[in-house]
Structure 1
Amino acid sequence: MVRDPFADEDIPDLQDVLDALDDPDCRAIVRALDEPMTADEISNRADVPLSTTYRKLDLLTEASLLEEGTEIRPDGQHASQYSVAFEEVVIGLADSREFEVEVTRQPRTADERLADLWSEVRKET
């Protein structure tokens, strides 16, 4: 699942975040992602089997903890690339006594916002 590039303030589901952070393979993937990587590169770096890596990438992306982008290759065989989409996750107790999650993200650069906008325009045409 690809996150909505225009939803800078989207709030992930608390249970999705907890499930992802509770999983040792997910944590290994996040630790391994010091730069955008493909699933194969992540699998090798995190020492997680490739089939498991794909499932964990889905879990982390659903929790809005990873972003999925596209690596453009000259041969036309483009690949998904993943990068960490947060700096901090805070779980707190709201006034209503319900748990809530807050995910702090790095601000997107103007170039990233323009690339996201252009990508959305291309999808519509």
Structure 2
Amino acid sequence: MAREQSASESAELDSVFGALDDADARDIIRTLDEPMTASEISDDCDIPLSTTYRKLDLLTDANLLLEGTEIRSDGHHATTYEVAFEEVRILLTDERDLSVDITRTERSPEERLADIWTAVREET
């Protein structure tokens, strides 16, 4: 008897499928060879900025992008985005369920500290 997928497994699978099914989102992933701001991504991908923000939300919600903070001397810090995975695999389990396996990019101590700073900034 096949087991039912949990709601969180199903939501993660739907989220990743939805993000990867979007042509603009895939273009953003291909473009991000280094952290970039939404404006830079919009320019490089030739996507309107409002659409870029929606696609970045889609990819971030699917845990395929990481948000960071670019500290600027003028005090107007910018959010940056970078690819958060090396590989995404869709697997068919023995129970005939689909599952998603995402190999995450290794994070340096500096990057983890930046992640903490970003989380603190979001809370304040």
TM-score normalised by structure 1 residue count: 0.82
Is the aligned partner of 1:24 residue 2:57?
A: no
Unpaired runs of at least 5, structure 2: 1-8
Tell me which residue corresponds to 2:88: 89
Equivalences for residues 1-125 of structure 1 within 5 A: 13-117=12-116
Tell me which residue corresponds to 2:4: none
Give the deviation of 1:94 after TM superposition: 1.4
Unpaired runs of at least 5, structure 1: 1-10
Q: Aligned partners of 1:122, 1:54: CA distance in 2, in Å?
A: 19
Higher normalized helix content (fraction of residues): 2
After superposing on structure 2, the runs of 4+ consecutive aligned residues of structure 1 that deviate more than 2 Å are 110-125
Give the deviation of 1:118 after TM superposition: 5.9
Q: 2:69–2:114: 8 Å Cα contact kept in structure 1?
A: no
Higher normalized strand content (fraction of residues): 2
Q: Aligned partners of 1:108, 1:101: CA distance in 2, in Å?
A: 21
Question: RMSD across aligned C-alpha pairs, in angstroms?
Answer: 2.2
Give the deviation of 1:113 after TM superposition: 2.8
3-state secondary structure, aligned to 1:87: strand
Alpha-carbon displacement from aligned partner over 1:36-80 (angstroms, at most 9, x marks no partner): 000000000011110100000000000110000111111111111
CA gap of 1:60–1:124, structure 2 versus 1, over 3 A, is: closer
Q: 2:69–2:118: 8 Å Cα contact kept in structure 1?
A: no
The one-letter code matched in structure 2 to 1:41 is E
Q: Aligned partners of 1:79, 1:65: CA distance in 2, in Å?
A: 19
Identity over the aligned pairs, expressed in percent?
63
Q: Aligned partners of 2:119, 2:43: CA distance in 1, in Å?
A: 31
Name the count of aligned residue pairs.
115
